[in-house]
């Protein structure tokens, strides 16, 4: 059985982040490597693409993570809806 390559391009990552409920999250994989992933139904996002995504104004921290001020997930647009509620 071969391992499927789920590394995402910037375009694919942005397309997925436009879906409601989708997040960019920092996780540790089963092989003990840390990385960024689009969750759910996404894949791994390379570090250089993550830096470009986080530099955008429309992608904001979704929560504060385990430690205050250290976010571990980010969302696109949905944070605006939560602030209005």
**Tens of pLDDT along 4-59?**
567 899 999 999 998 888 999 998 777 887 899 998 888 899 999 999 999 998 88
Per-residue confidence band for 77, with pLDDT thresholds at 50, 70 and 90: low
The rounded distance, in Å, linking the Cα atoms of 12 and 28 is 21
Provide the token pair at 54: 């986080």
- Which pLDDT belongs to residue 28? 79
- Which pLDDT belongs to residue 82? 53
Does the predicted model carry a pTM greater than 0.85?
no
Read off φ and ψ for residue 78, nearest 5 degrees: -60, -30
The rounded distance, in Å, linking the Cα atoms of 45 and 37 is 5
Decide if 8 contacts 16 (C-beta within 8 A). yes
């Amino acid at each position: 059985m071969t391992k499927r390559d789920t590394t995402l391009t910037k375009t694919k990552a942005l397309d997925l982040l436009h879906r409601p409920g989708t997040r960019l999250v920092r996780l540790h994989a089963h092989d003990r490597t840390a990385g960024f992933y689009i969750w759910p139904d996404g894949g791994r996002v390379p570090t250089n693409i993550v830096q470009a995504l986080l530099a955008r104004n429309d992608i904001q921290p979704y929560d504060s993570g385990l430690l205050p001020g250290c976010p571990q997930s980010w969302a696109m647009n949905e944070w605006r809806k939560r602030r209005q509620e």
